[in-house]
Amino acid sequence: QCAHLQLQCNQQEAELRRRELQTNKLKERLSQMTDRHREKGPALRLMLERREAELREAMKLRHSLTTLLHALRVNMEQDVAQDGDKRLDQSEEVLGEHVTGGVVQSWRKVQRLLQSILSETIAGTDQEKLLAQLEAELKESQHLVRLQQQMLQDSLASPIPSELTDSYFLEEWERLQARWAELNHMRRTFERERQSFTDAAIRLSREDFEQQKACLLKQQYLCDSPPFNKGAPNSRRESTALPSSSELGAAPVAELHQRGRVQTPSTPELYSALNLTYNY
């Protein structure tokens, strides 16, 4: 009995393995079918466009051929009628109008009237046949288009297998990571440029301050030099009227303070300090 149970267990395990293989094969086939339908979508659209273009070309060619055949048939009938008219004219000339009694002329009038009526009826029937054929081809093409659209919608509306959802999420995550890295790179670049502009503004402000300081020291030195003090012992009035060296030295200081604090450099100055080209 144990051997029998062991045999049944082995058989069931083999059956389970076989069914697992079948399910795996079915899953692979299902994924292949979905991929195939997705790949066939643009191909079907392209084939449909080509088919419509071929149908239009065929309709134009058929119309041109029918008009050509109709013109050839009319020309042949005219040639035959002209030959018959020539023979009748010759016979009438030989016999004389007093013998025929104007039968030829009457027959020509009747023949012209019959030709006009027949040409109108033939043209009407040919146009009706051509229109009916074109309508049938148009209906067939529309039916084919509807079938292809339905197949395409069915293939696109099929649910995504669970095996592919993880891959879609992973692809989206990688795209987001790439976008985040790009934004970080742009932010670092902006920070570097802003720091460069700040350093350039500080450097220009310091240079301006040093220039003003040098100018102030130069003026103070010139005011304190001996040539400005030669006229003091000659005339007291002039000495009292003229400002002293301390006053002259204090004037540029006040003027420097009145000029204001360190000015912020303009955009062209910043670009020139950074050795960049500025487009006005």
pLDDT of residue 252: 46
DSSP 163-216: HHHHHHHHHHHHHHHHHHHHHHHHHHHHHHHHHHHHHHHHHHHHHHHHHHHHHH
Amino acid at 95: L
3-state helix, strand, coil split of the chain in percent (to 5) is 90, 0, 10
What residue numbers bound the domain in which 149 lies? Answer: 43-75+104-155
Same-domain check for residues 48 and 151: yes
Q: How many whole angstroms separate alpha carbon 137 and alpha carbon 59?
A: 9
Same-domain check for residues 124 and 53: yes
pLDDT of residue 271: 65
DSSP class of residue 78 equals H
Same-domain check for residues 147 and 245: no
pLDDT of residue 165: 60
pLDDT of residue 156: 64
**256 part of a folded domain:** yes
Q: How many whole angstroms separate alpha carbon 22 and alpha carbon 121?
A: 69
Same-domain check for residues 150 and 198: no
Record the pTM.
0.25
Same-domain check for residues 115 and 62: yes
pLDDT of residue 233: 46
pLDDT of residue 235: 43
Count up the domains in the chain and report the number. Answer: 2
Same-domain check for residues 148 and 56: yes
Q: How many whole angstroms separate alpha carbon 277 and alpha carbon 280?
A: 10
Same-domain check for residues 147 and 200: no
pLDDT of residue 54: 85
Same-domain check for residues 206 and 112: no
pLDDT of residue 98: 52
Per-residue model confidence as pLDDT tens for the chain (280 residues): 667 777 777 787 888 888 888 888 888 887 777 766 666 667 777 888 888 888 888 888 888 777 777 777 776 677 656 666 666 666 666 555 554 555 556 666 776 777 777 676 665 566 677 777 878 887 887 788 788 777 777 766 666 556 556 666 778 888 888 999 999 999 998 888 888 888 888 888 888 888 888 888 888 888 877 654 444 444 444 444 444 444 444 444 444 444 444 456 566 666 666 666 666 5
**231 part of a folded domain:** yes
pLDDT of residue 228: 47
